[in-house]
Structure 1
């Protein structure tokens, strides 16, 4: 294997199926023991703010991420060094006190809603995948996920979607589609596209063997 790990970036709007695509890719190249790193872990720590202020956080704006740390951790993995990945507590709207140690690998798959937004991140990606899914489907998936997994109310999810998620998607996420090498319609249900991407990754890895 070559000196530099292969880095695959997967992005798309909230609820597009990008994490499903990423996990499918991880499963298909499991023999290479890939690292799976999610941009969501790098939401800024807000423990210095009162809870009433934290719940107003616009999670779909680039400023909500600690991108400097995300880039630094990616660069450490590229140097074959371990990182301490943050853990975000969605119910408390701030970073948890725990971290997860992530060992380096020859393949790194990263996903995130604003993954292609910062040129420093884009420059580290060898293959850029954009998952393109209809707005209504993305909203319904987000509604289900946030209620089941993140302790939100229906009213809260709808309000957040209309006030920040949808406008931020059109302002910051959708325009980054132009940076993609591959665009996947219909997210995790598109098995043909996932197979094609997995085969492309395997071909890229074999060049390093």
Structure 2
């Protein structure tokens, strides 16, 4: 028996939901490296398809610079570590389009020319099912936080981040002087972390001490993401075994995780050296495993979000204290 439908009947299946993971943390805390290792582990555990994941960098959303701004950049007085340096409207619009599957182009900021361009979305690439967005202010804006399905914060010691910054800056093609690097850090980077970035940590679902070194955190997040996506991860550990490393042919390609983790000790630290907090009321349940000694789980925040809405203010980028942006309320 068949049922005839009227010719005017039309039914469209809803577009697949895009799962957005936000990763915040201080400058030079290894956010991008952590994202790439996490993506690899999610793919290896078959939680996500390699063709359906997108890594989005918040630094590509710096706002267009005026002539006056360029003068300040040339003199080292422009603050790229302040919320006013970002085009929040473009970021919010892009994330919304990605979640709806309607993104047609993505911005790309060239740090050499300090100009922003756009990359057209290739028709050969499927719309992503998972988006990882990393950046220092990912958890600062209430509207951006509301679009995230999982909120992470990489918590790396200030001294370690400064060492990473100096190493990166002096290794560039046209390296800055040590005096310029330290002046920039003291004038812009450290105050931004204290006033805006560190306070936004309270909105994170998972806080990751030591960043990329925390192999147990990657395992826990992978399992938690699989739970939220309704998928069962394969039983694969992120820790590369000594036998697999020994059998690797010299010169053969290795995974990102093996390259970055092969020299890192995974011995659990003592309770005093690794923060751990029990989930509060209303928090999601997570897999119970020893990884909890490496990852701090904090309770989910209510929708009554009171952080200030992003606003523009040209004079704020020079490092003055009279800012439209105030530190995230406690």
TM-score between both structures, scaled by the size of structure 1: 0.90
Return the structure number with greater helix share: 1
Correspondence for 1:13 among 14, 26, 29: 26
**8 Å Cα contact 1:134-1:186 kept in structure 2:** yes
Deviations 1:97-135 (A, max 9, x none): 453537521111101001111101000011100100100
Alignment of 1:32-71 (within 5 A): 32=49, 33-46=52-65, 48-49=67-68, 51-55=70-74, 56-71=77-92
Shift of 1:206: 2.2
User: C-alpha distance in 1, partners of 2:34/2:203?
Assistant: 18
Shift of 1:144: 1.6
Q: Quick one: structure 1 residues 157 and 83, their matched pair in 2 at CA, closer, same or farther if it must change by over 3 Å?
A: farther
User: C-alpha distance in 1, partners of 2:173/2:156?
Assistant: 22
Match of 1:163 in 2: 187
Match of 1:186 in 2: 210
Match of 2:133 in 1: 110
User: C-alpha distance in 2, partners of 1:147/1:202?
Assistant: 40
User: C-alpha distance in 2, partners of 1:12/1:21?
Assistant: 11
- How many residues are treated as equivalent by the alignment? 207
Match of 1:81 in 2: 102
Structure 2: gaps spanning 5 or more residues: 1-13, 232-330
Shift of 1:198: 1.4
Name the SS for the 2:22 alignment partner.
strand
User: C-alpha distance in 2, partners of 1:164/1:77?
Assistant: 31
Name the SS for the 2:230 alignment partner.
helix
Deviations 1:19-48 (A, max 9, x none): 121111111223423111010110111154
Correspondence for 1:130 among 134, 153, 177: 153
Return the structure number with greater strand share: 1
Name the SS for the 2:35 alignment partner.
helix
Shift of 1:149: 3.9
Shift of 1:49: 3.8
Indicate the RMSD between aligned Cα atoms, in angstroms.
2.2
**8 Å Cα contact 2:105-2:118 kept in structure 1:** no
Shift of 1:152: 3.9
Name the SS for the 2:65 alignment partner.
coil
Structure number with greater Rg is: 2
Q: Quick one: structure 1 residues 107 and 97, their matched pair in 2 at CA, closer, same or farther if it must change by over 3 Å?
A: closer
Q: Quick one: structure 1 residues 166 and 189, their matched pair in 2 at CA, closer, same or farther if it must change by over 3 Å?
A: same
Q: Quick one: structure 1 residues 140 and 23, their matched pair in 2 at CA, closer, same or farther if it must change by over 3 Å?
A: same
Match of 1:27 in 2: 40
User: C-alpha distance in 1, partners of 2:211/2:120?
Assistant: 28
Correspondence for 1:4 among 17, 20, 43: 17
